[in-house]
Structure 1
Amino acid sequence: MNTPTAPPFALRPIRVSGWLASGGLLLAGLAWVVRAVWELRLAAAGEPAAGPPDQGNGVHRPLNSLEDSYHLVTSAGGAAVALCALLFVSWLWQLRDNARALSGKEPKYAGIWVYLGWVVPLVNLWFPRGIVVDAFHGSAPGRRVPVSVNVWWVLWVIGMLSGVGLVYRDSTDEIIARAYHGVWPLLTSDAAVVGAAIAGFFAVRAVTAAQAERLREAGVA
Protein backbone atom coordinates (compact mmCIF):
# COMPACT_ATOMS: atom_id res chain seq x y z
CA MET A 1 0.00 0.00 0.00
CA ASN A 2 1.44 3.36 -1.07
CA THR A 3 1.47 6.19 1.45
CA PRO A 4 0.92 9.68 -0.05
CA THR A 5 3.97 11.83 0.29
CA ALA A 6 3.77 15.34 1.66
CA PRO A 7 4.33 18.22 -0.75
CA PRO A 8 7.89 19.61 -0.68
CA PHE A 9 6.56 22.98 0.52
CA ALA A 10 3.67 23.54 2.91
CA LEU A 11 1.11 26.08 1.81
CA ARG A 12 1.18 29.24 3.90
CA PRO A 13 -1.23 32.20 4.01
CA ILE A 14 0.02 34.97 1.75
CA ARG A 15 -2.16 37.97 2.63
CA VAL A 16 -0.09 39.37 5.51
CA SER A 17 3.12 39.04 3.53
CA GLY A 18 1.39 40.76 0.61
CA TRP A 19 0.22 43.65 2.75
CA LEU A 20 3.71 44.12 4.18
CA ALA A 21 5.32 44.07 0.74
CA SER A 22 2.81 46.48 -0.75
CA GLY A 23 3.13 48.75 2.28
CA GLY A 24 6.90 48.72 1.88
CA LEU A 25 6.51 49.81 -1.73
CA LEU A 26 4.35 52.76 -0.73
CA LEU A 27 6.88 53.72 1.95
CA ALA A 28 9.69 53.66 -0.62
CA GLY A 29 7.57 55.71 -3.01
CA LEU A 30 6.90 58.28 -0.31
CA ALA A 31 10.63 58.48 0.42
CA TRP A 32 11.26 59.30 -3.24
CA VAL A 33 8.57 61.97 -3.21
CA VAL A 34 10.40 63.62 -0.31
CA ARG A 35 13.67 63.41 -2.27
CA ALA A 36 12.00 65.15 -5.22
CA VAL A 37 10.73 67.91 -2.95
CA TRP A 38 14.25 68.49 -1.60
CA GLU A 39 15.70 68.51 -5.11
CA LEU A 40 13.18 71.19 -6.06
CA ARG A 41 14.21 73.16 -2.99
CA LEU A 42 17.86 72.89 -4.03
CA ALA A 43 17.04 74.05 -7.55
CA ALA A 44 15.03 76.99 -6.22
CA ALA A 45 17.79 78.02 -3.81
CA GLY A 46 20.47 77.93 -6.52
CA GLU A 47 24.09 76.98 -6.19
CA PRO A 48 26.00 78.92 -3.49
CA ALA A 49 28.76 81.30 -4.52
CA ALA A 50 31.27 78.79 -3.11
CA GLY A 51 30.35 76.34 -5.88
CA PRO A 52 29.27 72.69 -5.72
CA PRO A 53 29.89 70.59 -2.59
CA ASP A 54 32.34 68.34 -4.46
CA GLN A 55 34.90 70.75 -5.88
CA GLY A 56 37.14 68.12 -7.41
CA ASN A 57 40.58 66.74 -6.55
CA GLY A 58 39.19 65.40 -3.27
CA VAL A 59 38.13 68.83 -2.03
CA HIS A 60 34.66 69.16 -0.44
CA ARG A 61 33.43 72.43 0.96
CA PRO A 62 31.25 72.50 4.12
CA LEU A 63 27.59 71.81 3.36
CA ASN A 64 24.93 74.40 4.02
CA SER A 65 21.83 73.46 6.01
CA LEU A 66 19.73 72.60 2.95
CA GLU A 67 22.43 70.38 1.46
CA ASP A 68 22.97 68.71 4.82
CA SER A 69 19.25 68.00 5.15
CA TYR A 70 19.26 66.46 1.64
CA HIS A 71 21.92 64.02 2.84
CA LEU A 72 19.60 63.07 5.73
CA VAL A 73 16.66 62.67 3.34
CA THR A 74 18.65 60.39 1.03
CA SER A 75 19.84 58.29 3.97
CA ALA A 76 16.26 57.89 5.22
CA GLY A 77 15.18 57.03 1.69
CA GLY A 78 17.89 54.39 1.44
CA ALA A 79 16.68 52.83 4.69
CA ALA A 80 13.09 52.81 3.37
CA VAL A 81 14.20 51.11 0.16
CA ALA A 82 16.20 48.51 2.10
CA LEU A 83 13.15 47.70 4.24
CA CYS A 84 10.98 47.54 1.12
CA ALA A 85 13.46 45.14 -0.50
CA LEU A 86 13.42 42.81 2.51
CA LEU A 87 9.61 42.75 2.65
CA PHE A 88 9.27 42.30 -1.11
CA VAL A 89 11.79 39.46 -1.34
CA SER A 90 10.15 37.72 1.65
CA TRP A 91 6.77 37.98 -0.10
CA LEU A 92 8.22 36.80 -3.40
CA TRP A 93 9.84 33.77 -1.79
CA GLN A 94 6.60 32.77 -0.08
CA LEU A 95 4.63 33.41 -3.27
CA ARG A 96 7.04 31.20 -5.21
CA ASP A 97 6.89 28.35 -2.67
CA ASN A 98 3.09 28.41 -2.60
CA ALA A 99 2.92 28.43 -6.40
CA ARG A 100 5.26 25.47 -6.49
CA ALA A 101 3.06 23.48 -4.09
CA LEU A 102 -0.17 24.50 -5.84
CA SER A 103 1.01 23.65 -9.34
CA GLY A 104 3.17 20.64 -8.51
CA LYS A 105 5.77 22.02 -10.94
CA GLU A 106 9.30 23.24 -10.40
CA PRO A 107 9.67 27.03 -10.72
CA LYS A 108 11.14 28.32 -13.96
CA TYR A 109 13.88 30.16 -12.07
CA ALA A 110 16.17 28.66 -9.43
CA GLY A 111 15.72 29.98 -5.91
CA ILE A 112 19.05 31.86 -5.89
CA TRP A 113 17.62 34.26 -8.48
CA VAL A 114 15.04 35.51 -5.99
CA TYR A 115 18.03 37.36 -4.50
CA LEU A 116 20.63 37.66 -7.25
CA GLY A 117 18.11 38.46 -9.96
CA TRP A 118 17.96 42.05 -8.71
CA VAL A 119 21.69 42.76 -8.82
CA VAL A 120 23.30 40.71 -11.61
CA PRO A 121 23.69 42.97 -14.67
CA LEU A 122 21.45 42.20 -17.67
CA VAL A 123 19.72 39.42 -15.75
CA ASN A 124 18.16 42.10 -13.54
CA LEU A 125 16.33 43.48 -16.58
CA TRP A 126 13.85 40.61 -16.64
CA PHE A 127 14.45 37.86 -14.03
CA PRO A 128 12.55 39.47 -11.11
CA ARG A 129 9.49 40.10 -13.27
CA GLY A 130 9.83 36.57 -14.64
CA ILE A 131 9.78 35.12 -11.11
CA VAL A 132 6.60 37.05 -10.27
CA VAL A 133 4.92 36.00 -13.54
CA ASP A 134 5.96 32.36 -13.10
CA ALA A 135 4.53 32.32 -9.58
CA PHE A 136 1.32 33.95 -10.83
CA HIS A 137 0.88 31.31 -13.54
CA GLY A 138 1.51 28.57 -10.99
CA SER A 139 -1.10 30.09 -8.69
CA ALA A 140 -3.72 31.06 -11.27
CA PRO A 141 -3.23 28.93 -14.40
CA GLY A 142 -4.96 30.24 -17.48
CA ARG A 143 -5.36 33.77 -16.15
CA ARG A 144 -3.69 36.78 -17.74
CA VAL A 145 -0.90 38.51 -15.87
CA PRO A 146 -2.23 41.73 -14.29
CA VAL A 147 -1.39 44.86 -16.28
CA SER A 148 0.02 46.41 -13.10
CA VAL A 149 2.85 43.85 -13.14
CA ASN A 150 4.07 45.05 -16.52
CA VAL A 151 3.63 48.74 -15.65
CA TRP A 152 5.57 48.21 -12.42
CA TRP A 153 8.43 46.52 -14.22
CA VAL A 154 8.73 49.05 -17.05
CA LEU A 155 8.87 51.94 -14.58
CA TRP A 156 11.28 50.02 -12.34
CA VAL A 157 13.71 49.49 -15.24
CA ILE A 158 13.47 53.17 -16.24
CA GLY A 159 14.24 54.22 -12.69
CA MET A 160 17.07 51.71 -12.43
CA LEU A 161 18.77 52.65 -15.70
CA SER A 162 18.36 56.41 -15.40
CA GLY A 163 21.54 56.74 -13.33
CA VAL A 164 19.80 59.09 -10.91
CA GLY A 165 17.01 56.85 -9.71
CA LEU A 166 17.21 53.50 -7.98
CA VAL A 167 20.87 52.85 -8.75
CA TYR A 168 23.08 55.91 -8.39
CA ARG A 169 26.33 56.22 -10.25
CA ASP A 170 27.05 59.57 -8.60
CA SER A 171 27.55 60.52 -4.98
CA THR A 172 24.93 62.50 -3.07
CA ASP A 173 27.06 65.65 -3.43
CA GLU A 174 27.17 65.16 -7.20
CA ILE A 175 23.39 64.72 -7.24
CA ILE A 176 23.11 68.02 -5.36
CA ALA A 177 25.18 69.68 -8.11
CA ARG A 178 22.82 68.20 -10.71
CA ALA A 179 19.86 69.67 -8.86
CA TYR A 180 21.49 73.09 -9.02
CA HIS A 181 22.24 72.96 -12.74
CA GLY A 182 19.47 70.75 -14.20
CA VAL A 183 16.84 69.36 -11.88
CA TRP A 184 14.43 68.00 -14.51
CA PRO A 185 16.31 64.76 -15.29
CA LEU A 186 16.35 64.09 -11.55
CA LEU A 187 12.63 64.74 -11.24
CA THR A 188 11.86 62.57 -14.27
CA SER A 189 13.78 59.70 -12.69
CA ASP A 190 12.06 60.31 -9.34
CA ALA A 191 8.68 60.18 -11.09
CA ALA A 192 9.58 56.79 -12.60
CA VAL A 193 10.57 55.44 -9.20
CA VAL A 194 7.42 56.74 -7.51
CA GLY A 195 5.30 55.39 -10.36
CA ALA A 196 7.01 52.00 -10.03
CA ALA A 197 6.25 51.95 -6.31
CA ILE A 198 2.57 52.75 -6.88
CA ALA A 199 2.22 50.24 -9.73
CA GLY A 200 4.11 47.71 -7.62
CA PHE A 201 1.58 48.19 -4.83
CA PHE A 202 -1.25 47.24 -7.18
CA ALA A 203 0.78 44.41 -8.72
CA VAL A 204 1.49 42.84 -5.33
CA ARG A 205 -2.16 43.19 -4.32
CA ALA A 206 -3.39 41.59 -7.58
CA VAL A 207 -0.93 38.69 -7.54
CA THR A 208 -1.52 38.11 -3.82
CA ALA A 209 -5.30 38.07 -4.30
CA ALA A 210 -5.02 35.51 -7.11
CA GLN A 211 -2.94 33.17 -4.98
CA ALA A 212 -5.06 33.74 -1.87
CA GLU A 213 -8.10 32.58 -3.86
CA ARG A 214 -6.37 29.30 -4.69
CA LEU A 215 -5.23 28.93 -1.09
CA ARG A 216 -8.81 29.29 0.14
CA GLU A 217 -9.85 26.52 -2.24
CA ALA A 218 -7.06 24.40 -0.74
CA GLY A 219 -8.33 25.12 2.78
CA VAL A 220 -5.59 27.58 3.74
CA ALA A 221 -6.90 30.81 5.29
Structure 2
Amino acid sequence: MTQPFDPYAPPPAGAPAPSTTPLYDACAAANQARRLRVPEGLATAVVVLSSVFLAVQVVSTALSFGAVEAYAAAADPMDVFTAYDAVAGLLSAVMFAAFIVSCLWLNECRKFAVAVKPTYRHQRGPVWVWLGWVVPVVSLWFPYQVVRDVRRSTIRESSGLAGWWSTWLIGNFASYQATLVTMRGGDPVMLPFYELVAAVTLLIAFVCWLRIVRELTVAQRAHVAALDGVAG
Protein backbone atom coordinates (compact mmCIF):
# COMPACT_ATOMS: atom_id res chain seq x y z
CA MET A 1 0.00 0.00 0.00
CA THR A 2 1.34 3.43 -0.91
CA GLN A 3 2.36 5.54 2.04
CA PRO A 4 0.72 9.01 2.20
CA PHE A 5 2.98 11.92 1.27
CA ASP A 6 4.35 13.72 4.31
CA PRO A 7 5.59 17.25 3.44
CA TYR A 8 7.38 17.47 6.78
CA ALA A 9 9.31 14.23 6.43
CA PRO A 10 13.08 14.60 6.03
CA PRO A 11 14.50 13.77 2.60
CA PRO A 12 15.65 10.17 2.14
CA ALA A 13 19.29 9.40 2.78
CA GLY A 14 21.52 10.35 -0.13
CA ALA A 15 19.00 12.69 -1.76
CA PRO A 16 20.45 16.09 -2.71
CA ALA A 17 19.18 19.01 -0.71
CA PRO A 18 17.17 21.51 -2.74
CA SER A 19 19.24 24.55 -3.75
CA THR A 20 18.04 28.12 -3.59
CA THR A 21 21.04 29.42 -5.52
CA PRO A 22 19.26 29.74 -8.90
CA LEU A 23 16.46 31.75 -7.30
CA TYR A 24 18.99 33.91 -5.45
CA ASP A 25 20.99 34.48 -8.62
CA ALA A 26 17.85 35.45 -10.52
CA CYS A 27 16.85 37.96 -7.83
CA ALA A 28 20.36 39.40 -7.65
CA ALA A 29 20.47 39.74 -11.44
CA ALA A 30 17.07 41.42 -11.47
CA ASN A 31 18.15 43.91 -8.82
CA GLN A 32 21.38 44.68 -10.66
CA ALA A 33 19.55 45.04 -13.98
CA ARG A 34 17.26 47.61 -12.37
CA ARG A 35 20.30 49.56 -11.17
CA LEU A 36 22.04 49.50 -14.54
CA ARG A 37 20.98 52.15 -17.00
CA VAL A 38 22.66 52.58 -20.36
CA PRO A 39 23.22 56.36 -20.81
CA GLU A 40 22.16 56.26 -24.44
CA GLY A 41 20.73 59.79 -24.45
CA LEU A 42 24.00 61.24 -23.19
CA ALA A 43 25.95 59.10 -25.66
CA THR A 44 23.89 60.55 -28.51
CA ALA A 45 24.46 64.09 -27.20
CA VAL A 46 28.20 63.43 -27.01
CA VAL A 47 28.25 62.34 -30.66
CA VAL A 48 26.19 65.34 -31.79
CA LEU A 49 28.22 67.95 -29.92
CA SER A 50 31.51 66.36 -30.94
CA SER A 51 30.35 66.49 -34.56
CA VAL A 52 29.40 70.16 -34.23
CA PHE A 53 32.76 70.92 -32.62
CA LEU A 54 34.61 69.29 -35.51
CA ALA A 55 32.48 71.11 -38.08
CA VAL A 56 33.18 74.49 -36.47
CA GLN A 57 36.89 73.61 -36.33
CA VAL A 58 36.86 72.98 -40.09
CA VAL A 59 35.18 76.35 -40.68
CA SER A 60 37.75 78.03 -38.43
CA THR A 61 40.55 76.45 -40.44
CA ALA A 62 39.08 77.70 -43.72
CA LEU A 63 38.70 81.24 -42.38
CA SER A 64 42.23 81.35 -40.98
CA PHE A 65 43.69 81.83 -44.48
CA GLY A 66 41.77 85.07 -44.96
CA ALA A 67 42.71 86.34 -41.49
CA VAL A 68 46.46 86.25 -42.20
CA GLU A 69 46.48 89.59 -44.01
CA ALA A 70 44.53 91.36 -41.26
CA TYR A 71 46.90 90.13 -38.55
CA ALA A 72 49.97 90.96 -40.63
CA ALA A 73 48.81 94.56 -41.08
CA ALA A 74 47.86 95.13 -37.42
CA ALA A 75 50.22 96.70 -34.92
CA ASP A 76 48.45 94.87 -32.11
CA PRO A 77 46.80 91.49 -32.82
CA MET A 78 44.26 92.21 -30.09
CA ASP A 79 42.86 95.04 -32.23
CA VAL A 80 41.92 92.63 -35.00
CA PHE A 81 38.47 91.08 -35.24
CA THR A 82 37.64 88.99 -38.28
CA ALA A 83 35.18 86.28 -39.18
CA TYR A 84 37.88 83.87 -38.03
CA ASP A 85 37.80 85.43 -34.54
CA ALA A 86 34.01 85.22 -34.40
CA VAL A 87 34.09 81.52 -35.26
CA ALA A 88 36.86 81.01 -32.69
CA GLY A 89 34.47 82.31 -30.03
CA LEU A 90 31.77 79.93 -31.24
CA LEU A 91 34.28 77.09 -31.17
CA SER A 92 35.04 77.78 -27.50
CA ALA A 93 31.33 77.75 -26.63
CA VAL A 94 30.74 74.45 -28.45
CA MET A 95 33.82 72.92 -26.84
CA PHE A 96 32.55 73.88 -23.37
CA ALA A 97 29.14 72.31 -24.07
CA ALA A 98 30.82 69.15 -25.39
CA PHE A 99 32.99 69.03 -22.28
CA ILE A 100 29.99 69.16 -19.93
CA VAL A 101 27.98 66.52 -21.79
CA SER A 102 30.99 64.24 -22.31
CA CYS A 103 31.84 64.33 -18.61
CA LEU A 104 28.24 63.59 -17.67
CA TRP A 105 28.26 60.61 -20.03
CA LEU A 106 31.67 59.40 -18.86
CA ASN A 107 30.57 59.69 -15.23
CA GLU A 108 27.55 57.47 -15.93
CA CYS A 109 29.77 55.03 -17.80
CA ARG A 110 32.10 54.83 -14.82
CA LYS A 111 29.16 54.08 -12.49
CA PHE A 112 28.04 51.37 -14.89
CA ALA A 113 31.54 49.88 -15.03
CA VAL A 114 31.79 49.78 -11.23
CA ALA A 115 28.40 48.05 -11.03
CA VAL A 116 29.26 45.30 -13.52
CA LYS A 117 32.79 44.75 -12.23
CA PRO A 118 33.10 46.06 -8.65
CA THR A 119 36.41 44.24 -8.09
CA TYR A 120 38.18 46.27 -10.77
CA ARG A 121 40.44 48.97 -9.36
CA HIS A 122 40.10 52.27 -11.20
CA GLN A 123 43.34 54.21 -11.07
CA ARG A 124 41.54 57.57 -10.71
CA GLY A 125 38.59 58.48 -8.51
CA PRO A 126 35.24 59.76 -9.80
CA VAL A 127 36.20 63.42 -9.35
CA TRP A 128 38.87 63.07 -12.03
CA VAL A 129 36.19 62.35 -14.62
CA TRP A 130 35.71 66.14 -14.50
CA LEU A 131 38.91 67.63 -13.12
CA GLY A 132 41.26 65.47 -15.16
CA TRP A 133 40.58 67.52 -18.30
CA VAL A 134 41.22 70.96 -16.77
CA VAL A 135 43.88 70.59 -14.06
CA PRO A 136 47.25 71.62 -15.54
CA VAL A 137 49.90 68.97 -16.19
CA VAL A 138 47.77 65.97 -15.09
CA SER A 139 45.37 66.75 -17.94
CA LEU A 140 48.02 65.21 -20.18
CA TRP A 141 47.24 61.68 -18.98
CA PHE A 142 44.48 61.53 -16.32
CA PRO A 143 41.55 61.57 -18.81
CA TYR A 144 43.21 58.78 -20.76
CA GLN A 145 43.44 56.68 -17.59
CA VAL A 146 39.79 57.34 -16.74
CA VAL A 147 38.56 56.26 -20.19
CA ARG A 148 40.96 53.31 -20.26
CA ASP A 149 39.68 51.93 -16.95
CA VAL A 150 36.03 52.45 -17.85
CA ARG A 151 36.54 50.67 -21.15
CA ARG A 152 38.64 47.87 -19.66
CA SER A 153 36.15 47.12 -16.89
CA THR A 154 33.17 47.24 -19.28
CA ILE A 155 34.53 45.67 -22.46
CA ARG A 156 37.39 43.71 -20.81
CA GLU A 157 40.04 45.30 -23.03
CA SER A 158 41.44 48.76 -23.66
CA SER A 159 43.31 48.58 -26.96
CA GLY A 160 42.99 51.35 -29.52
CA LEU A 161 43.02 54.29 -27.12
CA ALA A 162 46.55 55.51 -27.88
CA GLY A 163 45.56 56.87 -31.29
CA TRP A 164 42.61 58.77 -29.84
CA TRP A 165 44.55 60.35 -27.01
CA SER A 166 47.71 61.23 -28.96
CA THR A 167 45.78 62.97 -31.76
CA TRP A 168 43.63 64.78 -29.19
CA LEU A 169 46.74 66.18 -27.48
CA ILE A 170 48.36 67.20 -30.77
CA GLY A 171 45.18 68.90 -31.95
CA ASN A 172 44.84 70.88 -28.75
CA PHE A 173 48.50 71.90 -28.83
CA ALA A 174 48.11 73.16 -32.41
CA SER A 175 44.95 75.08 -31.43
CA TYR A 176 46.84 76.66 -28.53
CA GLN A 177 49.62 77.79 -30.86
CA ALA A 178 47.04 79.36 -33.18
CA THR A 179 45.55 81.22 -30.21
CA LEU A 180 48.99 82.57 -29.30
CA VAL A 181 49.32 84.02 -32.80
CA THR A 182 46.02 85.89 -32.49
CA MET A 183 46.62 87.13 -28.94
CA ARG A 184 50.37 87.71 -28.59
CA GLY A 185 51.46 88.27 -32.15
CA GLY A 186 54.00 86.16 -33.96
CA ASP A 187 54.18 85.16 -37.58
CA PRO A 188 50.58 85.26 -38.87
CA VAL A 189 51.58 83.06 -41.82
CA MET A 190 51.77 80.16 -39.34
CA LEU A 191 48.12 80.57 -38.38
CA PRO A 192 46.67 78.44 -41.22
CA PHE A 193 49.34 75.82 -40.62
CA TYR A 194 48.41 75.46 -36.96
CA GLU A 195 44.74 75.34 -37.85
CA LEU A 196 45.32 72.66 -40.49
CA VAL A 197 47.26 70.51 -38.04
CA ALA A 198 44.48 70.97 -35.49
CA ALA A 199 41.74 70.09 -37.99
CA VAL A 200 43.44 66.92 -39.26
CA THR A 201 44.43 65.55 -35.86
CA LEU A 202 41.08 66.40 -34.27
CA LEU A 203 39.32 64.64 -37.14
CA ILE A 204 41.28 61.48 -36.36
CA ALA A 205 40.58 61.90 -32.64
CA PHE A 206 36.88 62.39 -33.44
CA VAL A 207 36.68 59.12 -35.40
CA CYS A 208 38.43 57.26 -32.54
CA TRP A 209 36.13 58.92 -29.99
CA LEU A 210 33.02 57.83 -31.88
CA ARG A 211 34.34 54.27 -31.84
CA ILE A 212 34.85 54.45 -28.06
CA VAL A 213 31.33 55.79 -27.47
CA ARG A 214 29.77 53.19 -29.77
CA GLU A 215 31.67 50.22 -28.30
CA LEU A 216 30.88 51.22 -24.72
CA THR A 217 27.20 51.65 -25.54
CA VAL A 218 27.05 48.25 -27.26
CA ALA A 219 28.82 46.57 -24.33
CA GLN A 220 26.51 48.25 -21.82
CA ARG A 221 23.44 47.03 -23.70
CA ALA A 222 24.89 43.51 -23.72
CA HIS A 223 25.44 43.58 -19.95
CA VAL A 224 21.86 44.70 -19.31
CA ALA A 225 20.45 42.14 -21.76
CA ALA A 226 22.44 39.35 -20.09
CA LEU A 227 21.16 40.33 -16.64
CA ASP A 228 17.58 40.58 -17.92
CA GLY A 229 17.97 37.07 -19.35
CA VAL A 230 19.16 35.67 -16.01
CA ALA A 231 16.41 37.49 -14.12
CA GLY A 232 13.79 36.20 -16.53
TM-score w.r.t. the length of structure 1 is 0.76
2-side partners of 1:182 and 1:83: how far apart? 25
2-side partners of 1:179 and 1:194: how far apart? 24
SS of 1:119's partner is coil
Counterpart check, 1:131 vs 2:183? no
Matches within 5 A, 1:1-221: 10-43=35-68, 46-47=69-70, 51-52=73-74, 54=76, 61=79, 63=80, 67-105=81-119, 107-141=122-156, 144-147=157-160, 149-160=161-172, 162=173, 164-165=174-175, 170=180, 172-174=182-184, 178-180=187-189, 183-219=192-228
2-side partners of 1:134 and 1:107: how far apart? 6
Letter in 2 for 1:158: I
Q: Does the 8 Å contact 2:64/2:192 carry over to 1?
A: yes
1-side partners of 2:100 and 2:74: how far apart? 35
Letter in 2 for 1:154: S
Structure with the largest fraction of helix: 2
Q: What is the total number of aligned residue pairs between the two structures? A: 200
2-side partners of 1:47 and 1:157: how far apart? 29
**Which fold has the larger relative contact order, with Cα–Cα distance below 8 Å and residues 6 or more apart in sequence?**
1
Letter in 2 for 1:104: P
Q: Which runs of 4+ in 1 moved over 6 A?
A: none
Structure with greater Cα Rg: 2
Structure 1: runs of 5 or more not aligned: none
Question: How far apart are residue 188 of structure 1 and its match?
Answer: 1.3
2-side partners of 1:101 and 1:11: how far apart? 7
Structure 2: runs of 5 or more not aligned: 1-27
Q: 1:206/1:53 Cα in 2 relative to 1: closer, same or farther (>3 Å)? A: farther
TM-score w.r.t. the length of structure 2 is 0.73
Question: How far apart are residue 210 of structure 1 and its match?
Answer: 1.9
1-side partners of 2:177 and 2:96: how far apart? 13
Question: How far apart are residue 134 of structure 1 and its match?
Answer: 0.7
Alignment-derived partner of residue 15 in structure 2:
none
2-side partners of 1:169 and 1:75: how far apart? 11
Identity among equivalent pairs (%): 21
SS of 1:108's partner is coil
The RMSD of aligned alpha carbons is 3.0
